[in-house]
A and B are shown apart, each in its own frame.
Chain A
Amino acid sequence: MLTTTRRGVMAGGAALLAGMAGMRPAEAQARRILVITSNQDIPNFDPHLASGYSTAMAMRNVYDSLVRVEGNPPKPVPHLAQSWTMSEDGREYTFKLDPAAKFHDGSPVDAAAVKYSIERLLRLNRGNAWMVAGIVDPAGTEVVDAQTVRVKLLTPFVPFLSVLPWVWIVNPKQVEANKGSDDGQTWLRTNIAGSGAFNITRAEAGNLYQFERVADGWRKGGGNLTGAIWKITRETATQRLMVQRGEAQIAVDLTSEDMEALKGRPGVNLILEPEYRTFQIKMNSKHGPLADKNLRKAIACAFNYQGMLDVSGYAELMKGPLPESIDGFDKELPIYRTDLEKAKEFLAKSRSPNGGIKLTLAHVSGLEQQRRWALVLLDSLRALNIELDIKPMIWPDMVAACRSPETVPDFFMVYQTANYGDADNLAYAGFHSSRNGNWQNPVYANPEVDAVLDQARAEADPEKRRELYKKFQRIVMDDSPDIFGVLEMRKLAMRNNVKGFAFTPVASNAIELFPLSLG
């Protein structure tokens, strides 16, 4: 801090004219700090309450999980757990913990901490708990010895290892010491009790979060970063310019136009990769005019898919409820494409054969892509003589509207990001009736689908599993509860001095800092 002074005297005057903001004093090089610009705040540091990609970014850097996800296609790899075994019936996992692992306060990450964390997650039943709720036996986690922990499942669950990267292990000592009356929620909201390679040293809500490499962390190796900043920048154009000017090294929320504008800029690398992030327009199949299957099908046929793709930029159209690259995708699935003849046929069979109705659509206010797609839908519905009332809503209001079918709008736009690369994630979260009342699946319920999904979750034979998911896709296609939209490419821009980044198609915008270096 003081060392900047001398330089400052010389540079100060020129700074105003020259706009020195882009330049950095030599000191910053020694403190290798990576700036990531994103438009999403990190409202809560409690690892068992949080969801959303910005929080996932914070969590995966300050907390550790039993396994990590790595590679493309993604695979679970050892993390806190050095190795693991699964019982014959798939209902018991035994993890051997890394004896070197320790929390920031020096105490070891032991089997008791794992047990404590899993129990706390299930007890609070918020955040990522849905991934394991009803699967992990809340009373079944067992400390075998300090380094060995056994987890019992209520039912076999094939993608179990894939959800574990999102189950964070807290330091029971610290949480117990600050337990309060709410299981430590108040304390963990703003404090870290983790073992991750980084810690959060500065938090300015709505502005920035600073991460600093923990001095003698247990994990050896990794990149040369000494710290990182998660900077909240609401406008994507600003994010793009920050990377272009070197004020930030990574931008995570860019639009296709931003990527176009950055193409060929010196010093900028672009990452454009398919990822399991689906977008669909859900229809209220339980309440209102869209409870009519024929009307839903008419709309699915009238929708201007090409127009949607045109305004999406780097994206491909979905061909059903599952992304094409996921194991279990049905290649022969009959899908809807713009076909006005067919749309009018379906409309004629519906309860409003001549249209003349007005439907409502909700999308997240401020999300530019969703706004554009809403306007494409508005234009498409005109052909059926249906009016569309577009309501931009804040996300929490949309979530609240999902509670009962009466308050769910006729159309409801959602992005679904897969946390694990298994068909179960998108299928279960988006179509199983146990998720009704939740934004991922507000109303759609079909007992047949439920049965198939439950069966597939527990089916260990890959071939049988694929068959089950095929069946699921056919039923859903016939019910037509959603307009299946696009699979957006993941769009990241990165300065070329960022080294060590390897793309993994799950939550890749929740940047993992550990392997990164600044060159």
Chain B
Amino acid sequence: MSATAHPRVESWRRGFYRFRQSWVSVLGLLIVLVLLVLAIGGAHLTPFPQHIQGVVDTSSRLQPPSMSYWFGTNELGQDVFSLVVAGTRISLLAGMAVVIVGAAFGVFVGALAGFFGGWVDEVLMRIADLKLTIPGLILAMAVAAALGPGIVNMIFAIALSWWPGYARLVRGEVMAKREETFVLASRAMGAGTGRLLWRHILPNIVSPIIVKMSLDMGFAILTVASLGFIGIGVKPPTPEWGSLLSVARVNMPDYWWTAIFPGLAIFLAVFGFNLLGDGLRDLLDPKARR
């Protein structure tokens, strides 16, 4: 049985080949894998896990990077390396939650709009358009500030401005698929609307959604860090990268290590997901390839 027997397997195989060919995508995958390991391992991989819980060691404050403190210590004598590593889990989880919540809501809205068309479509899409004209960051800032600090509030605030992109994407796809033969056929056979959407249309639009989610992941992490940086992110002592950086601003330039390493971590995470997202787009959505 040859691989060409199944067109989907073939296209995956080709995509995977392309993915491997592009060293940047592989680099992205590597970075993301490292991040995942750090996120799962969390405190167990750090030399000073107690510092992540908020233990302070005021006798060794603001030490420069050394063999015992790879990234130095901060103003409370906590190991910056441990805090940065622990921040991986928070940033990744928050980014993922934003993307998933945003995507789920967007898919729901988009599917409704695309499937029903007419005034439902008109109303939902106008709201989505409006949302797109408001700078997401300012909206998220306002909402997060009003709800108070906390990771759940922050995720909610960001996801609030994240859904319209998905809604548009799904709406377009649903509209296109709606008229296709297999959908018309199952409708003729008496399938209900919900069932139709769930069983027949959504599975067909999963790849573009996944591509968009992976591309969005980097920016979601960036937005989470931005809110943390402005000072409306997580509660202390949670070591979130953006707030670590924000707090460390006052230590510059003499104690630069307290700021540079959290900043580099944000950059690396966003970079990794962007590279991977680019690669995944080639893999799953060859049409969009330029």
Chain A residues within CB distance 8 Å of chain B = 235-237, 255, 257-258, 260-261, 304, 306-307, 310-311, 365-366, 368, 371-372, 374-376, 378-379, 382, 389-392
Binary A-proximity of B137-177 (CB < 8 A = 1, otherwise 0) = 00000000000110000000000000000000000000000
**CB-based contact B59/A310 at 8 Å:** yes
The answer to whether B27 has its CB under 8 Å from any CB of chain A is no
Query: A306-B58, A310-B58, A379-B55 in contact; A257/B235 too (CB < 8 A)?
Result: no
By the criterion CB–CB under 8 Å, are A375 and B237 in contact?
Answer: yes
| Residues in chain A near residue B45, CB distance under 8 A | none
Complex contact A378–B54 (CB within 8 A): yes
Q: Would you give the 0/1 interface string for B57-86, flagging 1 where the beta carbon is closer than 8 Å to chain A?
A: 011011000000000000111000000000
User: Are B76 and A391 neighbours in the complex by a CB distance under 8 Å?
Assistant: no
Find chain A residues with CB under 8 A from B236 CB: 371, 374-375, 378, 390, 392
Smallest Cβ-Cβ distance to A389: which chain B residue = B235
Cβ contact of A378, chosen from B61, B75, B237, cutoff 8 A: B237
On whether the beta carbons of B56 and A376 are closer than 8 Å, the reply is yes
Give CA–CA (A224, B251) in the complex, Å.
Answer: 36
B residues at A contact (CB < 8 Å): 53-56, 58-59, 61-62, 75-77, 148-149, 231, 235-237, 247, 249-255
Residues of A within 8 A of B235 (CB): 389-392
Q: What's the Cα separation between A304 and B56 when bound, in Å?
A: 10
CA of A310 to CA of B249, assembled, Å: 20
Q: Which residues of A contact B255 (CB under 8 A)?
A: 257
Q: A257-B254, A311-B76 are in contact. Are A375 and B54 (CB under 8 A)?
A: yes
Picked from A257, A311, A371, A375, the residue with its CB within 8 Å of the CB of B251 is: A257
In the complex, what distance in Å separates the CA atom of A381 from the CA atom of B54?
A: 11
SS class of chain A's interface: helix, strand, loop or mixed?
helix
Contacts of A310 in B (CB 8 A): 58-59, 61, 77
If A257-B62, A376-B76 are given as contacts, then 7 extra A-B residue pairs at C-beta distance below 8 Å, sorted by A number, are A235-B250, A237-B250, A257-B254, A304-B58, A371-B247, A390-B236, A392-B231
Assuming the A-B contacts A371-B236, A390-B236, are A237 and B58 also in contact, with contact meaning beta carbons closer than 8 angstroms in the complex?
Answer: no
Partner among B56, B61, B62, B252 whose Cβ is within 8 Å of the Cβ of A375: B56
Cβ-closest chain B residue relative to A380 = B56
List the count of A-B residue pairs having beta carbons below 8 Å apart: 70
Give chain B residues whose Cβ lies under 8 Å from the Cβ of A365: 231
A257 proximity list for chain B (CB < 8 A): 62, 75, 250-251, 254-255
Chain A residues, CB < 8 A from B231: 365-366, 392
Q: Which residues of A contact B76 (CB under 8 A)?
A: 311, 372, 375-376
Contacts of B77 in A (CB 8 A): 310
B254 touches A307 (CB 8 A): no
Q: A236-B250, A237-B250, A257-B250 are in contact. Are A311 and B58 (CB under 8 A)?
A: yes
CB within 8 Å for A368 and B61 given contacts A375-B54, A379-B56, A391-B235: no
Beta-carbon contact of A307 and B250 below 8 Å: no
Evaluate contact between B58 and A376: CB separation under 8 angstroms. yes
A237 near B237 (CB under 8 angstroms)?
no
The residue in chain B whose Cβ has the minimal distance to the Cβ of A256 is: B75
Residues of B within 8 A of A376 (CB): 56, 58, 76
| Contact pick for B58, options A307, A374, A389, A392, CB 8 Å | A307
* A residues near B56, Cβ cutoff 8 Å: 304, 307, 311, 375-376, 379
The CA of A260 and the CA of B236, in the complex, are separated in Å by: 26
Q: Which residues of B contact A366 (CB under 8 A)?
A: 231
Q: In the assembled complex, how far is the CB of residue A324 from the closest CB belonging to chain B, in whole angstroms?
A: 23
Q: Which of B62, B76, B252 has the most CB of A within 10 A?
A: B76
Contact present for A311 and B61 (CB under 8 Å)? yes
* B248 vs chain A, min Cβ distance (A): 10
Given contacts A375-B76, A390-B235, contact A235 B249 (CB under 8 A): yes
Residues of A with C-beta under 8 A to B251? 237, 257
A255 to B250, CA, bound (A): 9
**25 A-B pairs in the complex with CB atoms less than 8 angstroms apart:** A235-B249, A237-B249, A237-B251, A257-B62, A257-B251, A304-B58, A306-B58, A307-B58, A311-B61, A366-B231, A368-B247, A372-B76, A374-B236, A375-B76, A375-B237, A376-B56, A376-B58, A378-B236, A379-B54, A379-B56, A382-B54, A389-B235, A391-B149, A391-B235, A392-B149
Max count, chain B CB within 10 A of own CB: residue among A261, A304, A306 = A261
Minimum Cβ distance to chain A for residue B249 (Å): 6
| Residue in contact with A311 in the complex, picked from B54, B75, B252, CB distance below 8 Å | B75
- Least CB distance, A238 to chain B, in whole angstroms: 9
When A and B form their complex, which 8 residue pairs have the shortest distance between CB atoms, in order from nearest?
A: A310-B58, A307-B58, A390-B236, A237-B250, A378-B54, A379-B56, A261-B254, A236-B250
Complex-state Cα separation, A258 to B54, whole angstroms: 24
Q: Is the CB of A391 within 8 A of B54?
A: no
Residues of B within 8 A of A311 (CB): 56, 58, 61, 75-76
What separation, in Å, do the CA atoms of A372 and B76 have in the docked complex? 7
CA distance A431 to B34 in the complex (A): 55
Residues from chain B with Cβ under 8 Å of A392 in the complex? 149, 231, 235-236
Shortest beta-carbon distance from B86 to chain A in Å:
15
B3 to chain A, nearest CB (A): 57
Could you say which residues of chain B place their CB within 8 Å of the CB of A307?
56, 58
Assess A390 versus B61: contact at CB under 8 Å? Given A237-B249, A257-B75, A257-B250: no
Q: How far is the CB of A78 from chain B (nearest CB, A)?
A: 42
State in angstroms the CA–CA spacing of A75 and B287 once bound together. 81
In Å, the complex CA distance between A307 and B60 comes to 11
Is there contact, CB below 8 Å, between A372 and B75? yes
| Shortest distance from the beta carbon of B290 to any chain A beta carbon, whole Å | 38
Q: Which of B53, B58, B237 makes the CB contact (< 8 A) with A390?
A: B237
Contacts of B55 in A (CB 8 A): 379, 382
The CA of A307 and the CA of B247, in the complex, are separated in Å by 19
User: Cβ of A382: which chain B residues have Cβ within 8 Å of it?
Assistant: 53-55
Q: A residues within 8 A CB of B75? A: 257, 311, 368, 372
Q: How many Å lie between the Cα of A378 and that of B56 in the bound state? A: 9
Closest A residue to B250 by CB, please name it: A237
| Chain B CB within 10 Å, residue with most, of A311, A374, A389 | A311
Chain B CB count within 10 A is highest, among A366, A368, A372, A391, for: A372
From A312, which residue of chain B is reached at the shortest CB distance?
Answer: B58
- Complex: A372 Cα to B250 Cα, angstroms: 13
**Docked pose: A390 CA to B58 CA in angstroms:** 19
Q: Which B residues are in CB contact (< 8 Å) with A304?
A: 56, 58
Q: How far is the CB of A365 from chain B (nearest CB, A)?
A: 6
Which chain A residue has the least Cβ–Cβ distance from B246?
A366
Give the CA-CA distance A347 to B144 in the complex, in Å: 37
